[in-house]
Amino acid sequence: MKKLLLVLAVAAIAVPAASAGGWATVGLSSLPPSGLEANQAWPVDITVLQHGATPLAGVTPIVRIRNGDGRVVKSFTAQPTGKTGAYHAVVTFPGEGTYSYEVYDGFTQYGGAQTHTFKPVEIGAPTDSFPYLPLGLGLALVLGLGAGTVVYLRRGREPATVTDLREAA
């Protein structure tokens, strides 16, 4: 029984210690710019840090683009920049629509490679979201109602003539 407890105690200490070194964070130099068109280049630098602090050399980050169905439609392998922990990729989105993108950090040591996901982006969407059409229709309606009101109010009156003005005096 004592041997079993000793084995369990050693395992409880060894398992977390073995997995403690196998995670990394990923940072991007920029997000896809608003108004990005289909097949337009988005150059991005990727920083991979072990434990969020130590730059990682020798990993191969991959940027993956997923369509609305969640299917990977393109992948871009980032290349080392010469600066430890920094990698560069030129990413293009294949068409108009909403895409999600992610970065596989490539940190396979200790079995800890992860995929880091980012907020979906709209590609080829209009960059100007001001509601010109509804505003224009509303303004036309207000002007039409105003003109109609003026015509209605003036319709019941006849213009005064010079003779009418002399009689009134």
Closest CA to 43 of 6, 82, 83, 76: 76
Q: How many helices (H) and strands (E) does the chain have?
A: 3, 10
8: helix, strand or coil: helix
Give pLDDT, residue 84: 96
Q: What is the pLDDT of residues 130-159, one digit of tens each?
A: 677 777 778 788 888 877 777 777 776 666
Give pLDDT, residue 75: 98
Looking at mean pLDDT, say which of 2-16, 19-33, 47-61 comes out highest.
Answer: 47-61
**3-class secondary structure per residue, 120-155:** CEEECCCCCCCCHHHHHHHHHHHHHHHHHHHHHHHH
Give pLDDT, residue 22: 75
| Average confidence score pLDDT of the chain | 82
98 contact partners, CB below 8 Å, separation of at least 6 = 68, 120, 121, 122, 123
What stretches of the chain show up as alpha helix (H) in DSSP?
Answer: 2-19, 132-155, 162-168
Q: What is the pLDDT of residues 81-135, one digit of tens each?
A: 999 999 999 999 999 999 999 999 999 887 789 999 999 999 995 555 667 777 7
Closest CA to 102 of 82, 75, 127, 125: 75
Among the ranges given (53-57, 70-74, 85-89, 158-162), the one the predictor scored with the smallest mean pLDDT: 158-162
